[in-house]
Amino acid sequence: MAVHQFQTEVNQLLQLIIHSLYSHREIFLRELVSNASDAIDKLKYLTVSDDAYKAIAFDPAIAISFDAEKGELTVSDNGVGMDEADLVENLGTIARSGTRRFMEAMAEDKRRDSNLIGRFGVGFYASYMVADEVTVTSRKAGADGAWVWKSDGKGSYELEPGQRDGHGTTIVLKMNDDGREYLNRWRLEELVKKYSNHVAYPIRLAYDEDEYDDKGKKKGSKVHKDEQVNSAQALWRRPKAELKDEDYVEFYKNIADSDDEPLLWAHTKAEGTIEYTTLFYIPSKAPFDLYHADYKPGVKLYVRRVFITDDDKELLPTYLRFVRGVVDSEDLPLNVSREILQQNRVMSSIRNASVKKILSELKSLSENDKDKYAAFVAEFNRPLKEGLYGDYANREALQELVRFKSSSVDGWTSLADYKGRMGDEQKAIYYIAGDSEDRLRKSPLLEMYRKRGVEVLICPDEIDDIVMPMVGKYGDLELKAVNRAGAEKEFEDKLDEGKAKDLAPVIERIKKALGDEVKDVRLSARLSESPSCIVVDADDPSIQLQQMMKSMGRGGDFEVKPILEVNGDHALVARLAASDDEALASDVARVLLDQALLVEGVALKDPAGFVGRINRLIAGA
């Protein structure tokens, strides 16, 4: 017998699970059953795809039994099993890089909910909430011997050769005081029905029952019973008419490893040249790894009811990575590989139809249930915007689905509603993009639009700056950024020509004082209160995009000098016009530039210099 130490992370994880998920401890059974079902999936797949396993014939089953006197609960399966190396790797270490993040997320998560568990491969350890000791006896399909893994979950585990009839895994939990309640037929049946009813394989529960005579009197003897307690059907294969909302919800909780209710589901059976069934769910909350590069995709692929993969990022486009569900095809080959999947015609038509289906379901939701749609937008507006950028084929549908904040209305608005509110003379849709909603709302660039009652969309997502120019148009209306030179043209109060002429020398002096810090200095037509603002040329990256690139270490590639626009009516400019002091001109010019940068959220290169100039200007007033 060999004693092994757990990887440090396993110990931390165990502590975390035991302490934070304590009130949800009944999920241990769901986790064990789900592992058993995965193991059967894997073996079934091998028997159809790999010649070495073709000879294995087996009747998939998961068995649960208990011994109340001994205080033991047993869950066993005839799946793929594990050998010595698998046991070390799977139960002694945490192979996935996401685990550290899981632990951080759990530590931060005030709700302490169990949704995070399982998405990271921590499910098995949930057993230690109800057990003092866990023994795993496993025999890998195709191998001769079995291995026994045993641990009390306190730092180390033992591993030694053992016995098992046939392939599969048997897990015995020695229950602690909290676990004893589960050594009961009714409780176990309830848990299986609640969490695992739609696991695709039969789950059998074995128990002893008191025997009664004809008159209903207890005989004192017991009979052994062994019953299937789940429905064991691939739910998505059943006709819609037979399925109740509860069935869909329970199935969702199962496949999404979530305790939340789904927001929406769509169940489709396609018949014709290509036959397949899809069942998609939109979660009510964004998965925590939505913005991680190594997110876990949520759609499982089956071919004729055989599970193929739950780790294919190609089943749906990336922007729909929050969708959960199942795709089951009648036409794909069973031994389909990842490479084949990517180029397969069947797969790509399923994918295209699926995207259309999901988007059209969202469209109906937006029309029929505004509250629910608002809840959807709060969680998933941003990924939809990614779709606007990446999914050209569905751009029009996506344009109807994305929502924006606006200078004219509270909450969210659609492009269609914006269009509906537009005045006759307005020729474009205006937006301002940046990194803070609050700052954008206060931007001097909005002054002219406000004065004229023109609505501007407020776009504070970091991707807006890339997405909005890509989108370009909504129907025949152009989308125009208000921070770009030229956007104001159609509203421009004809700049008083006489005044422009008078101020030309002042503008020249400012330009001279700033030298090559700016691309240009212009008299502004869009300011009424603020003394100055920054704009960029139509094809130049915005200030925010430049900032973002800089923070990614790529500033040099994108740096473009800003254009400074100056408010000719402002007192600061008047003061400059009235004096020929060049030191004053330099101070005023710098302050006009620096404060315009500040309101854009740019950190000044020389804050002390800025403060010095401000003080000189105040003192000289």
Q: Which residues bind ligand ADP (CB under 6 A)?
A: 31, 35-36, 39, 77, 79-82, 90-91, 118, 121-124, 169
* Min CB(91)–ligand ADP separation in Å: 6
Residue 299 φ/ψ, nearest 5 degrees: -110, 130
A 10 A CB-CB count for 292 gives: 11
| 568 SS3 class | coil
Pair of tokens at residue 233: 């059907």
**CB of 80 or CB of 388, closer to ligand ADP:** 80
Residue 454 φ/ψ, nearest 5 degrees: -100, 130
**CB of 91 or CB of 457, closer to ligand ADP:** 91
The CA-atom distances, in angstroms, between 496 and each of 94, 246, 502, 525, 569 are 71, 69, 10, 10, 11
* Min CB(112)–ligand ADP separation in Å: 19
8 Å CB contact between 320 and 357: no
* Min CB(259)–ligand ADP separation in Å: 16
* Min CB(33)–ligand ADP separation in Å: 9
**CB of 35 or CB of 135, closer to ligand ADP:** 35
* Min CB(192)–ligand ADP separation in Å: 16
The sheet with strand 306-309 has its strands ordered as 262-270, 276-283, 324-329, 299-303, 306-309
* Min CB(414)–ligand ADP separation in Å: 39
* Residue 615 buriedness (CB in 10 A; 0-12 / 13-18 / 19+): exposed
**CB of 79 or CB of 317, closer to ligand ADP:** 79
* Min CB(255)–ligand ADP separation in Å: 13
**CB of 66 or CB of 128, closer to ligand ADP:** 128
**CB of 91 or CB of 518, closer to ligand ADP:** 91
- H/E element, 480: strand 477-481
**CB of 32 or CB of 282, closer to ligand ADP:** 32
The sheet with strand 532-535 has its strands ordered as 520-523, 563-566, 532-535
Residue 274 φ/ψ, nearest 5 degrees: -120, 130
Could you give the CA distance from residue 205 to residue 186 in angstroms, rounded to a whole number?
Answer: 10
Please give the full DSSP string across 359-388, using - where no structure is assigned.
HHHHHHHHHH-HHHHHHHHHHHHHHHHHHH
**CB of 50 or CB of 210, closer to ligand ADP:** 50
8 Å CB contact between 325 and 268: no
* Min CB(432)–ligand ADP separation in Å: 44
**CB of 121 or CB of 460, closer to ligand ADP:** 121
* Min CB(484)–ligand ADP separation in Å: 49
